[in-house]
Amino acid sequence: MEYKILKKEKMYCSICDKEHEVELRESDSILEIKGEQIKYKEIYYCCTNIEKNNCFTINNMMGENILRAKDNYRKKHNLLTSKEIKEIRNFFELTQAEFSIILGLGEITITRYETKQIQDTSIDKLIKYVRDNPIVLLDYLEDKKDKFSKERYSQIKETIKNKIKNNSYSDNFKIQLLKYKYVEFDKKNDENGNCILDINKLNNIVAYIVYKMNSLSITLKKVVLMKLLWYIDAKSFKEYNKSITGLVYVHEQFGALPIGHDEILSLPSIKVEKITLEEDHYQYNIDLNKDYKIKHIDNKESKIIDEVINKFKNYRSSEISEYMHKEDAYKETLLCQIIPFSLTKTLREF
């Protein structure tokens, strides 16, 4: 059997009944879950003093292995893993029993999901729903108010309220916010370039831009990405009367900026590194999330994106700003005004 040695450590070996150095190993294994053969990485200790039947487990290792297999089943079926459920609960600073009660489940239900049992699809949706909409969790808490002491009830309420106020939501919640911000732009018009924002498509387009920049060995910064997005949409509108992403752009001091630009950084295809330059000034470096696979992009669209990247690849953010300041779309709009796409018809050729 193939295996990987994770580490060697001195401990009590139950094979030869004495303390010595043993290997912690990991190997591919299969467990049947709900009638499916699920692959997972099994961990166990191994005594190297003996040739055969030399593997053993300690404490909760068996449980850990079963959990690994179950989490793989969950990933395969797009369900939250036990760790993710725990993270969501911890994010709201709730105990397992409290989280269960607020969700209207039996008191030990969440404990089971964090340790052994695979949750039903409906419960999975419920947990994701409160993760993405903490205001709903507040509502649920209100319904279950009587189940908590007065003190604990106000504590929980304050915690959830603070999470909402301090913008410390999960990335998923920021994506919900992005949807909220675009709820009024649900008709094709001059503001969105005859295109309604599709988050999945935006996610893929942004990934493609990051990928292209990476292949040129350029670190993409947030300020540059936002300007590239405008040029991509503007050029597409100029040529085909339709923007690519459906983002709506506002005239800001340093150029066009899409509504929801902060939330865009929470797109699942990318990861963002925040670097402090000086007090209150940050630079956001964007990289591709390694787990993300770029989906096919329409040839017309990829041609435009490539042309825009090619034009601006060696521009610094301030240079793109300067260039943009000479466009009619910028000259003919005022600070904080939405830039209508019709003004991109005179976009300078490149």
Residues near Zn ion, by CB under 5 A:
13, 15-16, 47, 49
Q: Minimum distance from CB of 64 to Zn ion (Å)? A: 21
Nearer to Zn ion by Cβ, of 15 and 177: the residue is 15
Pairing of strands 281-288, 220-221: antiparallel
Nearer to Zn ion by Cβ, of 15 and 164: the residue is 15
Identity of the residue numbered 343 = L
Q: Minimum distance from CB of 6 to Zn ion (Å)? A: 17
Q: Minimum distance from CB of 5 to Zn ion (Å)? A: 15
Count of positions (residues) in the chain: 350
Q: Minimum distance from CB of 50 to Zn ion (Å)? A: 6
Question: Which residues, at least 6 apart from 46, have a Cβ–Cβ distance to it below 8 Å?
Answer: 3, 22, 23, 24, 25, 54, 55, 56
Nearer to Zn ion by Cβ, of 5 and 16: the residue is 16
Q: Minimum distance from CB of 12 to Zn ion (Å)? A: 9
Which residues are 220's β-sheet partners? 286
Residue with tokens 């295996």: 3
Convert 84-104 to b/e letters by CB count within 10 Å (16 or more is b). bbbebbebbebebbbbbbbbe
Angle of the 317-324 helix axis to the 222-240 helix axis, nearest 10: 30
Identity of the residue numbered 323 = Y
Nearer to Zn ion by Cβ, of 6 and 16: the residue is 16
Nearer to Zn ion by Cβ, of 16 and 62: the residue is 16
